[in-house]
Amino acid sequence: MLFFRKTPNITLKSLRLLRSATTLTAKPFPDDPTGAYYDDLANEAASSGDYSALRDVLNKRIQDGFLNSKRTFSFITHSNCSPSLIDKLEENLSHLNEGLTRENALNLLVTRLCKIRRTKEALRVVESWARGGVCVPTACTFYPILGVVTREKSLDHARRVVDLMAELGIGLDIYGQNLFLRAYCYAGDFGEAAGILRRMEEVGMAADSRTYDALVLGACRAGKVDGAMVILRRMVDDGVPMLYSTHMHVIGTLLKMKCYEHVMRYVRIFVGKDKLLDAELLGILASKFVNLKKGEEAMSILEEMKQRGVPMGYKLKDFYKMNVGKENGARVDGVVGEGINKV
């Protein structure tokens, strides 16, 4: 859906120049362009070194109601991300139309730089624009940076990013708190994790699915499955939707501990409410049992899938056909890889 009424093609001159400067056959600007069309134009402009045309494309696409996408800055790659390229982009994009156009370009540029692990350059651009009055960043602007540095366990760096945010008057919302919470839980630093939970409670910030997911992850990594179950019960009582990854934390830990009866009991608690979730949980558990050479357990899960009408992937179907009717403890023939229950 378009966000704004289309405006006259005030930048068509530079767009036509761009077309004529490239090896592509010149074509009239379409009456109904798409976001992908603008992405292609942006990449053509940058690849040809015509940053004025790039600026015009980014201005016009917002005027026509198309936000930038993850493909808009795909011309920035590991091989060509030189300081000079970033300087040229920073200079030219700083002259985009004020407001949404600049903010959206900044956010997508930061996201692209973080995707290729250039977080220092991304942070430099954000700080330069903020202190220069070019564009006021939001918390969302910083989250790609925080996402990378917390995943890399560079928590000192992450704290410095938060300090900069505070200098600019930007606080962490629940998404940002969850990034730190997950990093601390993954590292087993439960003291810091508890501190985050206290601060969230002090400001009235309610835990969401990702908060609980981080806590379950931390409990499972510490081998405290009972603690994870307590957290899950609280999650259910609070009516917070459970992420698929939360289930995987528990299933993976129970399998690692060789608690096969417990893991089957756990999965069966959650099946029967959502067909898609049933297929994921039962399918992944059956495939893991096959790979662990636990034929009896695998067949038990597959029989349940059959009874519930849950679809099996072709590899699971083959395994079931080969082993149906055999006595318990039948030999498992072969190992099934990941993606076993893809239909």
Select the more confidently predicted residue: 190 or 9: 190
Q: How many domains are contained in the chain?
A: 2
How high is the pLDDT of residue 324? 86
- As a whole number of Å, the end-to-end CA separation of the chain is 32
Provide CB contacts within 8 A for 325, sequence distance 6+.
Answer: none
Q: What pLDDT is recorded for position 28?
A: 62
Q: Is the pLDDT of residue 94 over 80?
A: yes
Tens-digit pLDDT profile for residues 221-235 = 999 999 999 999 999
DSSP-derived secondary structure letter, 239: T
Mean pLDDT of 58-65: 93
The secondary structure of 282-325 as a DSSP string is HHHHHHHHHHTT-HHHHHHHHHHHHHHT----HHHHHHHHHHTT
Residue 51 maps to a domain: no
Q: How far apart are CA 283 and CA 302, in angstroms?
A: 8
Q: Are residues 236 and 264 in the same domain?
A: no
Environment class of 248 (CB within 10 Å of its CB; exposed 0-12, middle 13-18, buried 19+): middle
Mean pLDDT of the 315-341 span: 67
CA dist list (Å): 170 to 100, 114, 309:
18, 20, 50
Q: Is residue 340 part of a domain?
A: no
pLDDT at 174 over 90: yes
In a domain, 194, yes or no: yes
**Which phi and psi angles does 112 have, rounded to 5°?**
-65, -45
Residue 292's closest CA among 324, 335, 240, 329? 335
Domain co-membership, 280 together with 229: no
186 and 240 both lie in a single domain: yes
pLDDT at 153: 86
C-beta separation of 308 from 300 below 8 A: no
Of the pLDDT bands very low, low, confident and very high (cuts 50, 70, 90), residue 110 is very high
Using the predicted structure, report yes or no on whether residue 303 has a pLDDT greater than 80.
yes
**Residue 334, pLDDT above cutoff 80:** no
Q: Alpha helix locations (H) across 22-82?
A: 35-47, 51-63
233-238, long-range: CB < 8 A, 24+ apart: 238/207
Of 335 and 71, which is predicted with more confidence?
A: 71
pLDDT for 33: 85
Higher pLDDT, 79 or 332: 79
The pLDDT assigned to 184 comes to 94
Residues near 116 by beta carbon (within 8 Å), at least 6 away in sequence: 76, 77, 78, 81
Mean pLDDT of 331-340: 48
CA 88 to chain centre: 29
The answer to whether position 206 is within a domain reads: yes
The Cα 258–Cα 169 span in angstroms is: 50
Kindly report, residue by residue over 212-269, the tens digit of the pLDDT: 999 999 999 999 999 999 999 999 999 999 999 999 999 999 999 999 999 999 999 9
Residue 240 forms part of a structural domain = yes
CA-CA distance, 150 to 23, in Å (whole number)? 43
Q: What integer best gives the mean pLDDT of the chain? A: 87
Based on the domain organization, do 236 and 275 belong to the same domain?
Answer: no
The answer to whether residue 263 sits within a structural domain is yes
Q: Note whether 219 and 278 are same-domain residues.
A: no
**Assigned domain for 121 exists:** no
302 within 8 A of 331, measured Cβ to Cβ: no
| pLDDT at residue 52 is higher than 70 | yes
DSSP, res 117: T
| Boundary-marking domain end, from 221, 244, 267 | 244
* pLDDT over 90 at 9, yes or no: no
What does DSSP assign to residue 240?
P
Per-residue burial over 73-87, b if 16 or more Cβ lie within 10 Å, else e, is: bebbeeeebeeebbe
Q: How far apart are CA 253 and CA 221, in angstroms?
A: 8
pLDDT at 8 over 50: no
Tracing tokens 């009717």 back to the chain, one arrives at 325
Q: Which domain holds residue 316?
A: 258-326
